[in-house]
Structure 1
Amino acid sequence: MKFFLKSISYVFHPLFMPIIAVSFYYAKSPRYIPTEIIQAKIISVFILTLILPILLFFLLKSLKTIHSIHLKTTQERIMPLVLFSVIIFLVLRKIFPQNDILELYYFFIGVLITNLSCLFLAFFKFKVSLHMAGISGIFMFFVALSIHYNININGTLALLSIIIGLIATSRLYLNAHNYKELAIGFFIGFLPQLIVINYWL
């Protein structure tokens, strides 16, 4: 059981959320977009939001700024969250500017708001659940897409609901967070996506 719940924390790590959202968007969007452009966008997001943060993690670890990928203390979280905010800003400037794909532009605006909120709380020694923030943001974005394109993704949303429960159980079982940190993490991920849909839905 411990191995399974620990695996959940790795499989659904917050760093995977942007590439999941972008891939899902392109898979479900009815608008025509050339395959070459889709591939280029996905690869760019993969490099910037997954590969680059992993490389920066090893750099910060070698500098002893952080000690593990779990970022167990609020002090350890500050620099990674600052760097990830810069990365999301680059994504907004170079990959999904406002005049390109409005849905993904505002999705990343929501991600940036979530990230900055987590950073703000870290300065005040509050360790919000980044896992819950990531998965709840994805959930709200998928709900918005289903309404926007009038598509039935009830199976996907049901699966995401189960995953949210598994992540919460995993983080509690591993003593990584308490109920309050999980709940606030959920709303910090969910609410920005709910707010920004007013600009594209």
Structure 2
Amino acid sequence: MVIYAYLIYFNMDTYVNRILYLFSPNFYWLFFFFLLSMAVVFPLITMVIMYKTNWISSYQIPIRKERLPVLVFVMIYYIMTYVIFRSWNQKLSFFIDPYVSFLFGGLALLAILFFITIKWKISLHTASVAGLAGGMMAVLLHQEEVYNLTTMMTINSILLLSIGLVSFSRLYLKAHNYGQILAGIATGFLVMYTIVFNQWYI
């Protein structure tokens, strides 16, 4: 989720992003490779280790209780990512506030999903894609001026459509029932939209 959000946000043609690229032309790839490591590479390595040591029975993690340690490790990587980006945000005169609030929203969403998963199997896939859609919609609505508005509106429409596609796939694979999928959509979208639109973070 954070990788897609990064690619969308920093390709949004806004006044703030233009200033960032002007004064820090190398920041994009530095941030991207750090984020790729923390959000993709390390979690995947962790999952492989957990599978090899029988912490999880499948990479699809169909068993609810097996999802809990995976979520814990993901949250650890996410916290580290958030702390680093918050530090960079201060050095960049708070120019990336919207993205930092997106990271904080993602962390809050992970925590909520963790506590729900203790008692109930909620759809993590739909929560993630709905969270991405809600967060990106909030970012777009919060921007004073977006020079490539048509492109961004198209991307947001695709994200909303992807909620339906992911939901259908989870039902088709019989990984979740309707309630678990709808709960994932509602939780992901509302949490991310609220936090990002208000640009909350600590």
Q: Is the 8 A contact 1:96 1:104 kept in 2?
A: no
What's the counterpart of residue 127 of structure 2? 133
What's the counterpart of residue 190 of structure 2? 191
With structure 2 as the length reference, what TM-score do the two structures score? 0.85
Cα distance between partner residues in 1 of 2:109 and 2:103: 10
Per-residue deviation, 1:199: 3.0
Q: Is the 8 A contact 2:126 2:166 kept in 1?
A: yes
Match of 2:155, SS state, is helix
Structure 1 residues not aligned, in runs of 5+? 1-16
Does residue 28 of structure 2 align to residue 26 of structure 1? no
Residues paired across the two proteins, number = 183
Does residue 111 of structure 2 align to residue 121 of structure 1? no
Root-mean-square deviation (Å) = 1.5
Cα distance between partner residues in 2 of 1:162 and 1:195: 20
What's the counterpart of residue 40 of structure 2? 50
Q: Is the 8 A contact 1:44 1:95 kept in 2?
A: no
Cα distance between partner residues in 2 of 1:110 and 1:36: 26
Q: Is the 8 A contact 2:130 2:160 kept in 1?
A: no
Match of 1:133, SS state, is helix
Per-residue deviation, 1:141: 1.6
What's the counterpart of residue 174 of structure 1? 173
Per-residue deviation, 1:161: 2.0
Query: For each residue in 1:149-179, what CA deviation from the matched residue of structure 2 results, as whole angstroms up to 9, or x when unmatched?
Result: 2432221122122211111100000000111
Q: In structure 2, give the amino acid aligned to 1:113.
A: A
Structure 2 residues not aligned, in runs of 5+? none
Percent identity, aligned pairs only, is 23
